């Protein structure tokens, strides 16, 4: 396991330094039942499992995709939470990311067009 705080491939989100964005899961250890769904299902290597406490741990919070809440949905114990989604919407507005997305979609039609 790498000891980096964020894996290089996740270091930016839409051009923004990922370390400047406070978006990651939090685990309520009192609620966590130790099922490991978050550990085995997250494709970004955010979680690890503490075999002593039998609980999941957020090991690499900045690997989390900004706006993703999949692990919260999978958690049958409702032990995972995130900041309010409005936080992400505010970043999108403040940094003009919606306009940049429109530009990206329009300049890469062959990549994003619905396949026929």
Q: In the 3-class helix/strand/coil scheme, how is 53-96 assigned residue by residue?
A: CCEEEECCHHHCCCCCCHHHHHCCCCCEECCCCHHHHHHHHHCC
Nearest Cα to Cα of residue 58 among 32, 76, 88, 91? 32
Cβ atoms of 51 and 39 within 8 Å: the answer is no
Segments making up each domain of the chain, as ranges: 8-82
Place of tokens 């919407």: 89
The CATH class of the 8-82 domain is: alpha beta
pLDDT per residue, tens digit, the chain (116 aa), is 455 789 999 999 999 999 999 999 999 999 999 999 999 999 999 999 999 999 999 999 999 999 999 999 999 999 999 999 999 999 999 999 999 999 999 999 999 999 98
């Amino acid at each position: 396991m790498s000891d980096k705080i964020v894996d290089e491939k996740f270091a930016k989100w839409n051009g923004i330094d990922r370390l400047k964005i406070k978006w990651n899961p939090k685990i309520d250890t009192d609620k966590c039942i130790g099922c490991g769904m978050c550990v085995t299902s997250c494709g970004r290597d955010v979680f690890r499992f503490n075999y002593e406490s039998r609980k999941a741990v957020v090991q690499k919070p900045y690997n989390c995709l900004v706006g993703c809440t999949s692990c919260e949905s999978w958690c049958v114990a409702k032990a995972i939470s995130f900041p309010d989604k409005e936080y992400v919407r505010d970043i999108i507005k403040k940094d003009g990311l919606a306009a940049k997305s429109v530009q990206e979609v329009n300049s890469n039609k062959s990549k994003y067009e619905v396949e026929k």
